[in-house]
């Protein structure tokens, strides 16, 4: 990863991509939009706009591992998406274990007394923020 600069966190689903960004000093992650997934060319164009708008210097992509640490088809799809992003954007990409990220995001939203409907709309972007925060805490030498 680069020395500083905003990072983009992604929670890749089959139908959506949750996004989050960090500040340039890697102190905090903020959830962004949940993007509908389409074909790679469409996803690439939407991500390119986001990368340019926020001056993104690197990406953190959630890697869905099984609870025993093994990887299944979803992890393989995430690795393929990371390869596509690496080629398209020429940015460093960190794959980050995303186990429990959705649960942590949902628990936080319940703690904020967010309705079930709003949680469903926002869960992917909140999970992306959990993934990104975990990565920047480790990268910046903070506590996980």
Q: Read off the pLDDT of residues 63-74 as tens digits, 9 standing for 90 and up.
A: 988 788 788 888
Q: Read off the pLDDT of residues 15-29 as tens digits, 9 standing for 90 and up.
A: 999 999 999 999 999
- Is 35 a domain residue? yes
The whole model's pTM is what? 0.84
- Is 115 a domain residue? yes
Domain extent for 106: 7-139
CATH of residue 128's domain is: 3.30.420.140
Can you point out the beta strands (E) in the chain? 7-12, 16-22, 29-36, 58-63, 93-97
Nearest to 56 by CA among 16, 7, 99, 115: 7
Give the Cα separation of 42 and 108 in Å (integer).
Answer: 31
Domain count of the fold of the chain: 1
Nearest to 69 by CA among 101, 37, 99: 99
Q: Read off the pLDDT of residues 41-97 as tens digits, 9 standing for 90 and up.
A: 999 999 999 999 999 999 999 998 878 878 888 899 999 999 999 999 999 999 998
- Is 64 a domain residue? yes
């Amino acid at each position: 990863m680069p020395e500083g600069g905003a990072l983009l966190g992604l929670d890749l689903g089959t139908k959506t991509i949750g996004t989050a960004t960090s500040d340039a000093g890697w102190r905090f992650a903020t959830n962004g939009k949940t993007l509908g997934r389409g074909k790679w060319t469409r996803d690439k164009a939407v991500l390119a706009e986001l990368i340019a708008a926020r001056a993104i210097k690197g990406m953190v992509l959630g890697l869905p591992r099984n609870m025993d640490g093994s990887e299944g088809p979803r992890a393989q799809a995430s690795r393929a998406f990371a390869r596509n992003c690496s080629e398209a954007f020429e940015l460093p990409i960190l794959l980050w274990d995303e186990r429990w990220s959705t649960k942590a995001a949902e628990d936080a939203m319940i703690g904020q007394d967010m309705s079930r409907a709003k949680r469903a709309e926002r869960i992917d972007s909140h999970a992306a923020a959990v993934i990104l925060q975990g990565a920047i805490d480790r990268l910046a030498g903070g506590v996980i």
